[in-house]
């Protein structure tokens, strides 16, 4: 029995990004519309041609700044006539919304789907606070934890930093991974950010500074955690036939990965050194003839540096447990290395655009528009992946021929 | 005695009551399937292994091992005792029967993966938070 992998009918026809920064103090819907209109202009589409709208996580009031706009606001602001839309949190990570859009155009329920992710965490969290814990409830409010949070918050594990630190520590224990190895994710991201005018942290970062940084939750230190940002990212997913005569030569969606076979939990996951990325990554390669060695550039989620190590293993760029040695020294994952990684500076240095930034950058690289940070040699195949713990979604893209 | 730190407490419901109140009797309790004997956590209305509905709370020994840990340094909320250890422990009765928890009564150099621990409880009104302390060989 053969199954047709219908995501191959989908293409990315345009991308857009708003101003990105710390505490811009701008209306998040304004940022969102900037990104959306930039993506439409990039594709050469009029808003009347958009018939689908997708986002993650949809409208949410808390945590502060986590969602800059939901479906309804954007639809109404642009007066879109939609045949299909989807916005929500329970998806295969942030890029799950883009995967859904691919399926929507492949099924013919929409032709051009505008996808967006918008954050304003830097402004919303105010001065010097990262927080965003407890679903926004204050410690003094008598708030009681329900659902999955009852298994973490009462144990003072307030942040994803804690949950991911537990996974990282186990990985260190089983495979001998070191902080010096983990550091390379942050250091390479910082070097790439220096070449990206839109990145937030662009000053050089040394291994010594990394190792001396204050611990957040061992073994993770300050530089293992991404930086809250204000900014929006958008892209247009189109059905391939409908994108032939647009402004750009579209990027093909070669395969998607959205599987989760283990338990949907940070602490109940079977193998604590892996994550749902394992299942999503493995699914992606079942849907294509391409292999990890064919990938020219990898944009892998780094909300925390350890997540990138987990994605490297999940996508088969190295063996299980071998991500530490794989990135050691940083040369292999540098811009001119064998597998250029997080070329825009990731979220660690580029800003926490929450998943969509990686897909945006994959497109930039395949279109050859990376400027100072362009991967040499005209990359033809890129992978973008987002999510941590039980959240995982990834896409494999190919350049136009 | 060390000061009891602030904790966000769980909302006690019929489904989780056995877990969060077992400490009143010094018991760490999980739902256990009457049909196949599987311990279920977090609690659900049916056994995820055999789908039977005969789930009843049962006390376990409280013995466990540290599967992973982290020392939290960041003051997410004010507390007098940073850094403090968060751990995932595996309960002795069943492979994979795990909890996130805090380790208590142990020093910075003592905590390690594989460390033998046992349950102890910290009372907050109607809720008893299961924490784990090291089992020291005599």
> What confidence tens digit (pLDDT) does each residue in A199-235 have?
999 999 999 999 999 999 999 999 999 999 999 999 9
Tokens of B5: 């730190």
pLDDT of residue A140: 58
The answer to whether the CB atoms of A155 and B100 lie below 8 A apart is: yes
In this complex, do A156 and B102 lie within 8 Å of one another by their Cβ atoms? Answer: yes
- Within 8 A of A275 by CB-CB distance, chain B residues are none
Number of domains in chain A: 1
> Which whole number is the average pLDDT over B15-43?
98
pLDDT in tens, A229-255: 999 999 999 999 999 999 999 999 999
- C-alpha A388/C-alpha A9 separation (Å) is 28
Tell whether the torsion through CA atoms of B47, B51, B53 and B54 is positive or negative: negative
**A150 to B10: CB separation less than 8 angstroms, yes or no:** yes
Instruction: Please report, for chain B, the start and end positions of each structural domain, with discontinuous segments joined by +.
Output: 17-134
pLDDT of res. B1: 41
Q: Cβ distance A382 to A284 under 8 Å? A: no
On the question of pLDDT at B105 being above 80, the answer is: yes
Which of B16, B72, B127 is opposite residue A156, by nearest beta carbon?
B72
Q: Would you call B10 and A169 a contact, using CB atoms and an 8 Å cutoff? A: no
Put simply, whether B66 touches A (Cβ < 8 Å) is no
- B104: nearest CA partner in chain A: A155
Instruction: Tell me, yes or no, if the pTM score tops 0.95.
Output: yes
Contact B9 A154 (CB under 8 A): yes
Q: Looking at residue A2, what is its pLDDT?
A: 75
Residue A167 pLDDT exceeds 50: yes
Residues A238 and A108: beta-carbon distance below 8 Å: no
The answer to whether residue A292 is domain-embedded is yes
In B, minimum Cα distance to A143 occurs at: B8
**Contact call for B70 and A166, based on CB within 8 A:** yes
Structure tokens at A105: 């155009």
- Three-state DSSP at A63 gives coil
Q: Work out the percent of chain A whose per-residue pLDDT is above 70.
A: 96
Tell which of A133, A136, A155 to mutate to test the B interface (max B CBs under 10 Å): A155
Question: Which pLDDT value is given to residue A127?
Answer: 56
Please give the residue of chain A at the shortest CA–CA distance from B10.
A145
Question: What dihedral do alpha carbons A101, A300, A188, A183 form, nearest 10°?
Answer: 140
Does residue A83 surpass a pLDDT of 70?
yes
Quick check: A135 pLDDT over 80?
no
User: Measured between beta carbons, which residues in chain A are less than 8 angstroms from residue B86?
Assistant: 155-157, 162, 165-166, 217
CA torsion, ordered B80, B86, B90, B91, to nearest 10 deg: 20
- C-alpha count within 13 angstroms, C-beta hemisphere, residue A299: 34
Q: Searching chain A, which residue's CA lies closest to the CA of residue B84?
A: A156
- A104 pLDDT exceeds 60? yes
Measured between CB atoms, which of A134, A162, A270 is closest to B86?
A: A162
Q: Please indicate, yes or no, if residue A170 is contained in any of the structural domains.
A: no
* DSSP designation for B8: P
Domain span at residue A318 reads: 6-125+227-398
A-chain CB neighbours of B7 within 8 Å are 153-156
Supply A287's token pair: 């849907």
Chain A residues with CB-CB distance to B8 below 8 A = 134, 139, 143-145, 153-154, 158
Most B CBs within 10 Å, among A131, A135, A150, to test the B interface: A150
Residue A137 scores a pLDDT above 60: no
Q: Determine whether the interchain pair A145/B87 forms a contact, defined as Cβ–Cβ distance below 8 Å.
A: no
Mutation choice for B interface testing from A154, A167, A168, A272 by most B CBs within 10 A: A154
pLDDT value of residue B137? 74
Q: Report the distance separating Cα A321 and Cα A4, nearest Å.
A: 33
Cβ atoms of A105 and A9 closer than 8 Å: yes
- CB interface of B with A, residues 77-106, below 8 Å: 77-79, 83-84, 86-88, 96, 98-102
Which of A132, A131, A129 lies closest to A63, judged by CA?
A: A132
B120 vs A contacts (CB less than 8 Å): none
In a domain? residue A216: no
Give A223's contacts in chain B (Cβ within 8 Å).
none
From the CA of A362, how many Å to the nearest CA of chain B? 33
pLDDT confidence of residue B4: 82
ipTM above 0.90, yes or no: yes
Q: Which residues on A lie below 8 Å from B16 (Cβ)?
A: 150
**Contact at 8 Å (CB) between A285 and A255?**
yes
Domain-located, residue A25:
yes
Q: Per-residue pLDDT averaged across A83-96, rounded?
A: 97
Residues of A near B (Cβ–Cβ under 8 Å) read: 131, 133-134, 139, 143-146, 148, 150-159, 161-162, 165-167, 169-170, 173, 214-220, 267-268, 270, 272
Average model confidence (pLDDT) across chain B: 95
Q: Taking 90 as the threshold, does the pLDDT of residue A142 lie above it?
A: no
**Whether pLDDT at B95 is above 90:** yes
Instruction: Read off the CATH number of the domain in which A319 is found.
Output: 3.40.47.10
């Amino acid at each position: 029995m053969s199954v047709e992998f219908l995501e191959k009918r989908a293409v990315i026809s345009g991308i857009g990004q708003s101003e990105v920064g710390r505490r811009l103090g701008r209306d998040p819907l304004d940022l969102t519309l900037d990104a959306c209109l930039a993506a439409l202009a990039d594709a050469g589409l009029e808003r009347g041609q958009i018939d689908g709208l997708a986002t993650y996580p949809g409208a949410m009031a808390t945590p502060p700044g986590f969602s800059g706009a939901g479906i309804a606001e954007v639809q109404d602001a642009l007066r879109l006539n939609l045949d299909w839309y989807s916005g929500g949190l329970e998806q295969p990570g942030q890029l799950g919304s883009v995967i859904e859009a691919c399926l929507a155009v492949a099924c013919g329920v929409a032709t051009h789907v505008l996808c967006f992710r918008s954050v304003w965490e830097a402004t919303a969290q105010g001065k010097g606070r990262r927080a965003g814990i407890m679903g926004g409830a204050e410690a003094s409010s008598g708030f009681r934890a329900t659902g999955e949070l009852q298994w973490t918050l009462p144990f003072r594990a307030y942040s994803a930093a804690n949950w991911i630190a537990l996974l990282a520590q186990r990985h260190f224990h089983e495979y001998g991974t070191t902080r010096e190895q983990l550091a390379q994710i942050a250091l390479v991201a910082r070097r790439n950010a220096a070449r990206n005018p839109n990145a937030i942290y662009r000053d050089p970062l040394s291994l010594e500074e990394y190792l001396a940084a204050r611990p957040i939750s061992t073994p993770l230190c300050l530089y293992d955690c991404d930086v809250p940002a204000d900014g929006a990212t958008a892209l247009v997913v189109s059905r391939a036939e409908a994108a032939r005569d647009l402004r750009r030569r579209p990027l093909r969606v070669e395969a998607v990965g959205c599987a989760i076979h283990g338990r949907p939990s940070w602490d109940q996951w079977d193998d604590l050194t892996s994550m749902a990325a394992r299942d999503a990554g493995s699914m992606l390669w079942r849907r294509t003839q391409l292999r990890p060695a064919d990938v020219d550039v990898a944009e892998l989620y780094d909300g925390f540096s350890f997540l990138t190590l987990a994605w490297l293993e999940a996508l088969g760029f190295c063996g299980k447990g071998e991500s530490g040695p794989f990135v050691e020294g940083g040369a292999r994952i540098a811009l001119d290395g064998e597998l250029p990684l997080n070329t825009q500076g990731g979220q660690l240095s580029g800003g926490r655009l929450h998943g969509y930034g990686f897909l945006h950058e994959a497109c930039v690289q395949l279109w050859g528009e990376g400027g100072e940070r362009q991967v040499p040699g005209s990359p033809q195949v890129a992978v973008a992946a987002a999510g941590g713990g039980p959240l995982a979604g990834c896409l494999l893209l190919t350049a136009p021929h | 005695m060390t000061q009891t730190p602030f904790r966000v407490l769980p909302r006690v419901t019929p489904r989780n009551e056995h877990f969060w109140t077992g400490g009143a009797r010094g018991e760490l309790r999980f739902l256990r399937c009457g049909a196949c004997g599987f311990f279920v956590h977090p609690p659900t209305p049916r056994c995820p292994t055999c789908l039977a509905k005969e789930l009843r709370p049962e006390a376990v020994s409280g013995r466990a091992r540290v599967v992973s840990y982290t020392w939290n340094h960041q003051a997410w909320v004010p507390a007098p005792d940073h850094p403090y250890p968060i751990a995932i422990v595996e309960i002795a009765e069943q492979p994979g029967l795990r909890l996130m928890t805090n380790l208590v009564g142990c020093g910075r150099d003592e905590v390690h993966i594989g460390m033998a621990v046992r349950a102890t409880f910290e009372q907050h009104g109607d809720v008893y938070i299961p924490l784990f302390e090291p089992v020291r060989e005599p």
